[in-house]
Structure 1
Amino acid sequence: MATPRFVGRDRELAVLRGALARPPAIVLVEGEAGIGKSRLLREWSATPDRHTALVSVCPPLRESLTLGPIVDAFQDIEHPLPGEGLTELAGALRPLFPEWSSSLPPALPPLDDAKAARHRLFRALNELLRALRVDVLVLEDAHWADEVTCEFLLFVISRQQSGGPSLVISYRPEEVADGSLLLRLTSRLPAGVTQLRIALAPMRPADTAALVSSMLDGEPISQEFTTFMHGRTGGVPLAVEESVRLMCDRADIVFRDGQWVRLKLRELRVPPTVRDSTRERVSRLSPSAQQVLRAAATLAGRSSTATIAATANLSPAVCRAAIAEAAGAGVLDGDEHGWWRFRHVLAATAVYEAIPLTDRRHFHLLAGRALEQLRPPPVARLAHHFREARETNSWLRYAEQGAELAIASGDHTKAVDLLVDLLSRAVLPPVDRARVAGIAGVAALGRREQVDEVYHRVIRTLRSVLGTPGLSARQQAEIRNPLGRLLITVGEAQAALSELEQAVDNLDHDPVEAARAMTYLGWAYAGPWPASTHRRWLDRAAALTARIDSPEQRLNLAGNRAAALLMLGEQEAWDVVAGLPADGSTAAERLDVARIHVNVGTGALIWGRYTDAEHHLAVALRLAEAEQASRLQHNVRLEQANLAWNTGRWDGLAETSAALADADRDRPAHYLGSMRLAARLAAATGRRRAAEEQFRLVLEESARLGAADDTMEAAAALARLWLTDGDGRRALRITDEPMDTVRRKGVWIWATDLVPARVEALLATGDPAAAKILTDRFARGLRGRTAPAPRAALALCRALLLGASGDHARAATAFDRTARAWNVLPRPYDALRARERQAEALVAQGRIEAGRELLAVQYEQLFRLGARGDADRLAQLLREHGAEVPRLWRGGRRGYGDQLSPRELDVVQLVVAGKTNRQISRILAKSPATVDQQLRAAMRKLKVSSRTALAVKAVEAGVFADEV
């Protein structure tokens, strides 16, 4: 059998050469496994074109090494580093290339900002590429590349117009994960450079026949054989090659009458997968060749003969002969430097899975010892091998080194994976277990991704480590501190404060972390402590902060303290807020500033200072978007949605609420926030059952999580629903516990919704004295605070007391004053409801006509706002008072009549395209309920009763004539 000839890719090779002849160029080579991407690049590199190419290959590691492919590519350089072209910046390369220490400038001082350190490293690598005069940088199998390697490629692309190498990147589109930076690289190619995308397709039957023939002495094959091979392999070159080799090994084809034919037409069993053919072919090799293949499969990457020999436990001479045998059989593939690997990962997997479990540990141990000889050592691969070998000490050492490198490169998720895997599977001494757990917790806090299973896995792991016997108080504190902050992130407020309280007294060796923990303990959202206790924690944090030298740390602590003071209702917080910066000089500073502003925005919402809230949330969103902090962006958008609700900007709010809830399902506190928003809308639009169920969920889950402040509005909303039913006692009971929390903690700015509902419930159950006492206590709690929303609520309470006393004239004036107070914020929905009460007071006073007119105005304004449920209630009141209800338009969009509205057209078009309601809701960013409503409206207008009939009628009616 001969080596297969390069078949069916002449056009692709020609355009590849043409693109690289017009530098700078970006060439993307995509295709499925075995389609011939690597063969195409090998053919190009073998051409006599004058170019200096650096070839980088991404190994299929379970935990890919940060920047590993790029570093490995430079190791192929045989000549020394150039004497010119490198500046002091190249000192940043010393950790990656210790073997070049004599040729590199001195090491640079470390940077605190991991993103800045990564940027400096990218600049140094780019400078090295230019100094070595690399014309083309090739990255093979980029679907296995780590995120930092992809970021480096984006960095190189951004600088191509000023010189630098062309890029050739091969990858499998189907194996590129959602969210991978490779998608950005392949979808946003820059202008001004030569661009080429080569999508390799399966071979045609004629090319399949030519490939098979090239392996069989160049002789032709029969038409039946061609049809069989193409039909069974799909024209994938790798599958064709493997099938031919297997058939030759089994003597299933013969040369007859001048062409190759299959010996057994029906009985021939061509293996359906490359795995099966690889295993059978490997089993026919000599024992030493099989041992080499097991070693290569264990190494799972291109390796030198020496590394394979050490892993296979063979002498160099025997190993070279075995490699030659395996290469001759087409299993191994070598490069010009004598490094070997399986021709494809499926073959390697097949061999690896065939290794008995009892032997795998030994192979991994030998692989680890062999890779330790490389410089620099591939720490992630070493951690993997020593883990599989159950060599705990070595696994620990390399996992920590790999995590450190990942954190320095900004890849906190990789660091978390390495360390949590170690903690979960290894038996470590308490001191090591505690140290690794602390590092894992800090690494998890550095992640920018949305809350996902990684966060919960870290939390479970840290809690497990805390149960380790023999941990000192200090070791426990260094675990509880990040654990508490992670619990805040996932919404377990009560548990978070418990962990932080246990940690804080044993963090005296680290003033910054101690002050940070005290600040978190100063947040009043959870726990049984009164406001004075939270304030003492904040004062202790302030005293400690004053002794910290770092301006950045002082800013972070002072800003978080100000936000915590806002939650406590402390007026002095606004003095600190006024001096907050709106930007930072580093990525870490910008993220800190963004977090502070979003917390201040939340506090401003509670106070009712909506202009301030809008400003601070806008600053937070700008910084979060600039730093691509997705979790923080979701925080801001939820608070902006709350602001939109309060200020009466309800258009599209239902869709926003649904999108937020879908995105935040793994973050209980934020999910409940979006659910609370949905419940408000349901109550206002008259969907009573949905509102009640959603508010109950928010109340119960917030109480379970210990988020005391989140129970207030839900309890008040349920009380209002039951008061409309005349069930004052039930309304009183639901507000008991939240009201006790407010009294106990003494944070009265939380009670904007709660106290008026409680006062009304007390009045409804015949206890005006208790209602008066509560109103007076509310007034004392707000004394000295510029909190417009709670003060408007206080005005409402006083108006309710006047109405209950029978002084309807003064009550009408008080409700008017209340409405004006709400409008100043502005908070139009509450203002309209206050006007409704004013109208009722006017009617009770005997000013029936004035009351009717005011009710009619409120009916129309509530209807326009979107509070259809309240509008319907007012319509009933108008009828009871003998007034005519204004006729308001209630259809779809005004003016469309029996014609489909633009929004209905969008829905119908997607129905015609075969999309489900759920898919349509995602595509149009609408809630499923909205999609269903618009779909039913379209069916009614087109007089059909099924989706199929709707699609047919729409097309027949020429609705989509242009598109068709």
Structure 2
Amino acid sequence: MSIAVPRLVGREREFAEVSAALDVPAAVVFVQGEAGVGKTRLVDEALAQRERPGRVLRTACPALLQPFTLGPLVDALRIAVDAGADHSLSALAGDLRPLFPEWAEWLPPMPEPADDPAMARHRVFRAVTELLDLLAVELLVVEDVHWADEATLEFLLLLACGPPPRPGILLTYRPEDVPRDSLLPRLTTAQLPHGRSVRIALEPLPLDDVARMVSSMLGGETVSGAFAAFLLERTAGLPLAVEESMRLMWNRGDLVRRGDAWARHRITEIDVPPTVRDAVLARAAGLGDAARAALRAAAVLTETSSESTVLAVMSGDPAGRISGLAEAVASGLLAEDAAGMVSFRHMLACLAIYEAIPMPERRAMHLRASRALADASPAPLAQLTRHAKEGGDAKAWGAYAELSADRALESGDGSTALVVLHDLLVHGTPAAGDVVRLTDKYPFGLLSGHERYAELLAALRRVVDSGAASPAEEAEIRFQIARLLTQMEAFEDARSEMERALPGLGHNPPKAARAAMYLGLLSYGTSTPARELLHWLRQASRIPTDAMSEADRLSMVVGLASGLLVLGEEDGWAEAAKIGDDAATTAERMAVSAGKLNVGEMAVIWGRHDEARRALMTVIDLAARHGFDKDDRLARATLALLDWVSGDWEGLAERAKELAGDEELLQPVSRLAPATVVGLLQAARGERDQAEQTLRAVLRRADELGGAESSIGPASALAGIRLAAGDVEDVLRLTEAPIAFLAGKGNWIWATDLAQVRVEALLAAGRTAEAIELIDAFERGIEERHAPAPRAALAVCHALVLALDEPLAAAAAFEQAAAAWQAIPRPYDTLRSREAQASCLVRAGATESGVALLTEVFAALSELGARATAERVRGELRAHGAPVKRPAWKGAVARTATGSRRASSTSSGCWSRGGPTGRSATCWCCRPRPSPGTWRRRCAR
């Protein structure tokens, strides 16, 4: 895909008015607007669709320091006139010889010179008019007439006031660039005695039209509302600035897909397109020294500022400053409201001027700005922070930055606090004690982007490695390094740093308690046995929390709940119930969001889908209200996995692929789950080679990252593909390390998909004793736990063993497993267990019942979109003499028989015809079974 030329948007009314006027003989149309507002584009579109026949002569006035007489008209006529043709011109045309010396051979002789200069000019005007008549010009278009010479403006005024027949006239100009002594105002306000006069004033585009314009450049695809608002703020809605900014971002690969909309990697930054920069600097160059000083002062201030503040930042004598500011405002580059507040018309112009200021002058101006704003009430802390930093005042920078972060956190604006504190920690030189205090305030949960993670980690390590920190300060900074490494998903390194930090935290009991909690939490991606991690969690839970802040107490609850659930401890759900859905402060809300993320992820692993979806939707709601963008993406990544197991596959492939590629907000381990879902969907559609390629890449990446739990999903999925291909040895190799990891750790809650595929491979390899040993360990590992998914998987494992010698008993066992899967619900696993049940029935001699069940399974798999499995079942049916039609596959989409999208899998139970009922309902887990393709709603089971 390439970026396209934008459509003309937001100009429907203006386009209609110009088009209507151009169809009227001798009409005069004025189109005014600032640079980049789209005057030329409007003229292009109107001329392209002009219905009135006749010749159009189009020209433009160049921005010359000394425009020459009738220059734009001379240039246009020189091109339009065929000098070799036989022209019938009056003697008056001889006055054109000075303008067209190259036409000397065919122009009439020069008439006697006029005594009166005004008469001489009038004769030239009449000669030019005669030439226009000769060419049969129906419409004269002159652009940028604010740069026209006096003679051109006089000619246009004469032509516009002349009687028909005469050409129509279309003029464009910038009001802000019209010289004070120009004749243009006289032309635009003249009462024309003949013809129609139309005046069009183009304004910048509003938000909706900016979004429409950008969308038209991206093939009609949606752009995020935040991105459109960002562009509007930076460009003031000027179409040229919007277009050039988009092209610059596109060429630099700065645009990304997020969900179903285009957005930008970093929405706080934008570069000035060269065309915009050059235009702004050219306009500024035409002003006086004092006016340029006013522009530089306003650019340094950036924000809308009072006249007195702008004057204080300028250099020079007071009287000169005032006149310079007045000239800058009159130029149109600056705007001033009724209250005397001054600002640039758009941010790109401000940036263009700012970047052109020499660095020494820029620093001095920032210091003057800092002094000018110091006594303001309330103190503009964000501006004071910036001016102190850019002016080189490190002490003031640190003080203002911390105050600014405090105010932002108090108001719930964690994103601003993060930006300010991150800048100070990374680019400043705070002392070790200041680093301890600042990192305690740092909203780690909002941090995203590999570059910013790396910057902060390097800054904190510099302080530790410098030797300037006391032992207590070093311990506290290491504690923060461990937190940061956890967010970077470097779990082993995080554990090492936290172990080094803990002994030195005796002076800070709340932080020591949190360190112990973190050591219990650092299970994911480490080989530490569960019993050791539980020891840390239990120890942390016994530490009094009376002296802690509410945010720290909430973090302890979140940590305990998360750690216990990761380790498969049932009492983790009681702790999870203590986490509310919102909180009062930014720090508390971030703790709630983190807790709900962890609960949502673990609820999927446990097979508690209701709790999973509620928790994840709470995170998405918090993110929308408080700007927790990273948490939103993390929640959606887990939702992708939940939608896969729940059978909600419509649009899932696209969502999962987009999440798997989100390198800005998601860390590598967090991208593995949606990437695995991509591979699983490919396998379900029958794209086995592509699925295998995808999943092997995901597994390699998981192994590189060192997160053993991360390898379980892709290893299980890939093993399933290889098992279907009959490669038992590859399955055993793929599952050996992950199953050994879980056995060594003693955490079997994660074994749902892994245990099934390994048991089946062990049995196929004749290693029955190992399979039974694995099943026994799995059963012991999940006993006394309300974990529906592992328990359903355990039921499948038992059925697999029975299927070796007791097919009828195995059929009953697979039926129980299917009921367990459907109660979660996991429809695809339900159907696979039903398929196994049917095969066992056939083996036991109950062929009719088996084939009937296979027929139902085939219909439901087809409806679900599981093409590969459905085709396999279709082959079994054909082998038993029960041919079925191949479905018209449209991809992996879950739909009802009537074509409507199936209800979202948000509650347990099974699909039934009759809605919420008891066990007697017609569904697979509650006999009698329905006919194919009729599952619409869930029963209450």
- For normalisation by structure 2, the TM-score amounts to 0.60
CA 1:694–1:563: 2 relative to 1, 3 Å: same
Pairing 1:645-794 to 2, within 5 Å after superposition: 645-658=644-657, 660-661=659-660, 666-667=665-666, 668-794=668-794
Show the counterpart of 1:869: 868
Distance in 2, matches of 1:304 and 1:649, equals 56
Equivalent of residue 279 in structure 2, options 273, 276, 284: 273
Deviation at 1:746, TM superposition (A): 0.7
Matched, 1:394 2:396: yes
Matched with 2:814 is: 815
Task: Note the 1:382-421 alignment, pairs <5 A.
Answer: 382-421=384-423
Distance 1:801 1:205 in 2: 88
Name the counterpart of 2:472.
474
Residue of structure 2 in register with 1:536 after alignment: 535
Give the letter for the 2:174 counterpart: V
Q: Which runs of 5+ in 2 are unaligned?
A: 1-13, 15-31, 39-139, 161-168, 184-276, 892-897, 901-941
Determine helix, strand or coil for the equivalent of 1:281: coil
State the shift of 1:902 in Å. 11
Q: Which amino acid aligns with 2:644?
A: W
Aligned residues of 2:302 and 2:350 also touching (Cα < 8 A): yes
Cα separation, partners in 2 of 1:824 and 1:299, compared to 1, 3 Å: closer
Alpha-carbon deviation of 1:720? 1.7
Question: Where does 1:523-562 land on structure 2 (aligned, <5 Å)?
Answer: 523=521, 524-548=523-547, 553-562=552-561
User: Amino acid of the residue matched to residue 156 of structure 2?
Assistant: Q
Shift of the 462–696 alpha-carbon distance from structure 1 to 2, 3 Å rule, reads farther
Are 1:860 and 2:859 an aligned pair? Answer: yes
CA–CA distance in 2 between the matches of 1:349 and 1:605? 48
- Superposition RMSD in Å: 4.7
Q: Deviations over 1:219-238 (max 9, x none)?
A: 975529999xxx99953323
Residue 245 of structure 1 and its aligned partner are, at CA, apart by: 7.4
Do the aligned residues in 1 keep the contact of 2:412 with 2:585 (CA within 8 Å)? no
Once residues 825 and 892 of structure 1 are traced to their aligned partners in structure 2, the CA distance between those partners, rounded to angstroms, is 27
Compared CA separation, residues 705 and 853, structure 1 to 2 (3 A): same
Task: Say which is worse superposed, 567-576 or 750-759, in terms of deviation.
Answer: 567-576
Q: Provide Cα deviations, 1:447-483, integer angstroms capped at 9, x if missing partner.
A: 7xx7686566545544555544423343344444444
| In structure 2, C-alpha distance between the alignment counterparts of 1:499 and 1:627, rounded to whole Å | 31
- Which residue does 2:518 correspond to in 1? 520
Q: CA deviation at 1:207?
A: 13
Post-superposition shift, 1:752? 0.9
Q: Provide the C-alpha distance between the structure 2 equivalents of 1:389 and 1:588, rounded to a whole number of angstroms.
A: 32
Q: Does 1:380 align with 2:378?
A: no
User: What is the CA deviation profile of residues 398-432 of structure 1, one whole-angstrom value per residue up to 9, with x for unaligned ones?
Assistant: 33333333333333333333333334444454444
Counterpart amino acid of 1:759? Answer: V
Deviation at 1:566, TM superposition (A): 1.7
Q: For 1:869 and 1:636, how far apart are their aligned partners in 2?
A: 29
Query: What CA deviation, in whole Å up to 9, does each residue of 1:817-852 have, x standing for no partner?
Result: 333332333333223222323333344445555544
Q: Percent identity?
A: 37
Amino acid paired to 2:387: H
**What SS does structure 1 have at the residue aligned with 2:173?**
coil
User: Aligned letter for 1:408?
Assistant: E
> Structure 2 CA distance, aligned partners of 1:220 and 1:742?
86
Q: Secondary structure at the match of 2:542?
A: helix
| Equivalent pair of 1:545/1:554 in contact (CA under 8 Å) | no
- Structure 1 counterpart of 2:156, from 202, 223, 226: 223
Name 1:21's counterpart in structure 2. Answer: none
Q: Which amino acid in structure 1 is aligned with residue 793 of structure 2? A: A
Q: Distance in 2 between matches of 1:721 and 1:35?
A: 58
Larger deviation, residues 771-780 vs 298-307: 298-307
Counterparts of 2:812 and 2:423 in 1: how far apart (Å)? 67
What are the superposed Cα offsets for residues 139-192 of structure 1, whole Å, 9 maximum, x if unpaired?
Answer: xxxxxxxxxxxxxxxxxxxxxxxxxxxxxxxxxxxxxxxxxxxxxxxxxxxxxx
Q: 1:652 to 1:344 in 2, by over 3 A?
A: closer
Gap change, CA 1:399 and 1:562, over 3 Å in 2: closer
- Matched residue, 1:802: 802
Larger radius of gyration between Structure 1 and Structure 2: 2
Q: Per-residue displacement from partner, 1:870-920 (whole Å, max 9, x unpaired)? A: 0111222334x4432322542569xxxxxxx999xxxxxxxxxxxxxxxxx
**Amino acid in the other structure paired with 1:470:** A
C-alpha contact (below 8 Å) 1:275/1:349 kept by paired residues = no
SS of the equivalent of 1:522 reads helix
Residue 544 of structure 1 aligns to a residue whose secondary structure is coil
Q: Give 1:800's aligned amino acid.
A: L
Distance 1:625 1:328 in 2: 44
Residue 767 to residue 588, structure 1, CA distance change in 2 (3 Å): same
Structure 2: distance between partners of 1:616 and 1:514:
29
TM-score calculated relative to the size of structure 1:
0.59
Residue 643 (structure 1) aligned with residue 635 (structure 2): no
Q: Which residue of 2 aligns with 1:235?
A: 173
Q: Provide the rounded CA distance (Å) in 1 between the counterparts of 2:640 and 2:888.
A: 25
Label 1:222 to 1:478 Cα distance change in 2 as closer, same or farther (>3 A). farther
Q: Which amino acid aligns with 1:276?
A: A
Aligned to 1:9: none
For residues 595 and 334 of structure 1, do their structure 2 counterparts lie closer, same or farther at Cα, with a shift above 3 Å needed? closer
- Mapping for residues 9-28 of structure 1, pairs under 5 Å: none
Quote the residue 1:574 is aligned against.
573
On the 8 A contact 2:606/2:789 being kept in 1, the answer is yes
Q: Give 1:789's aligned amino acid.
A: A
Which one-letter code corresponds to 2:173 in the other structure? G
Distance 1:873 1:537, change over 3 A: same
How far has the Cα of 1:529 moved from its partner?
A: 0.6
Counterpart-to-counterpart distance in 2, 1:353 and 1:394? 24
Does the C-alpha gap of structure 1 residues 327 and 883 become closer, same or farther in structure 2, counting only changes over 3 Å?
Answer: same
The Cα of 1:391 is off from its aligned counterpart by: 3.2
Asked if 1:839 is matched to 2:838, the reply is yes
Indicate if the aligned counterparts of 1:34 and 1:344 stay in contact, CA closer than 8 A.
Answer: no
Question: 1:430 touches 1:468 (CA, 8 Å); kept in 2?
Answer: no
Aligned-partner Cα distance in 2 for 1:349–1:818: 65
Which whole-Å CA distance do the structure 2 matches of 1:357 and 1:707 have between them? 47
Distance in 2, Cα, partners of 1:352 & 1:770: 72
CA distance in 2, matches of 1:683, 1:356: 60
What amino acid sits opposite 2:759 in the alignment?
A: V
User: Residues 875 and 735 of structure 1: is their aligned pair in 2 closer, same or farther, counting only changes over 3 Å?
Assistant: same
Q: Tell me, in whole angstroms, the C-alpha distance in 1 between the residues paired with 2:519 and 2:513.
A: 10
Contact 1:522/1:564 (CA < 8 Å) preserved in 2?
A: yes
Contact 1:604 1:612 (8 Å CA) reproduced? yes
1:349-375, Cα deviation, whole Å (9 max, x unpaired): 676555544444344444444544555
Q: 1:274: how far off?
A: 4.0
Gap runs ≥5 in structure 1: 1-11, 13-29, 37-203, 249-270, 894-900, 904-964
Confirm or deny: 8 A CA contact 1:493 1:705 kept in the other structure.
no
* Cα distance in 1 between the residues matched to 2:773 and 2:346: 79
**Structure 1 residue identity aligned to 2:543:** L
